[in-house]
Amino acid sequence: MKHLFFFCNIIGLLCLFTTVSCSRPDAIELKEGDIVFQTSKSSQSKYIIAATRSPWSHCGIIIEKPDGLYVLEAISTVSLTPYQQWVERGRGQRVGMKRYTEEPIKIKYTKYMGKPYDLSFKFDNGKWYCSELVYDIYKRQLGVELCQPRPVSDYATTGLDKVLAKRGINSTQLVVAPSDLYDSNLLTQ
């Protein structure tokens, strides 16, 4: 029964994918501090999509450097990825973008560089997952809480018990998903 529920979730999400309209923002439209979203090709992406019922399973922050735009992201470690390379790495090369303000933002990111990825999605453990990184930077640097962290049980996790247990994720721990950031009423497109 759990497998049937999970399968139905995936089918529903495939329908959602076909109705989500987004265009890849051109690099010229982006500026430092913008938050970009994609559907990752990672093995955990399907679980994030199923749990959040959103096509966005990965996110990062735009960083402007003299040689171009980069995405600050938490993957195996927190790192900077050239924007075009980041786009090409996502499923279907679809990208969503949200902006907090039209005012210039300068992100202080060096203290995050090289930090390990957080497979257990826990706050304040010296490791980072993608949406936690974005959430934390906005909260600590700009004093803006883009969304409220939610307990894992708020998401559609039926059928994902083994995956969650294997990663040490419990139903009461608070998390921030890419979809929570994308849906923030503090951000605009």
Give the pLDDT of residue 8.
40
Which pLDDT value is given to residue 149?
97
d(CA 188, CA 120): 30
Calpha distance 78→111 (Å, rounded): 10
pTM of the model: 0.85
Q: Kindly list the structural domains of the chain, giving each domain's residue range(s) and its CATH number in brackets, ordered by start.
A: 2-182 (3.90.1720.10)
Give 59: exposed, middle or buried? Use CB within 10 Å, 0-12, 13-18, 19+: buried
* Residue 28: predicted pLDDT: 61
Mean pLDDT for each consecutive 10-residue tract of the chain (189 residues)?
Answer: 42 39 61 96 91 96 96 97 95 94 95 96 94 97 96 92 91 96 95
Amino acid occupying residue 103: E
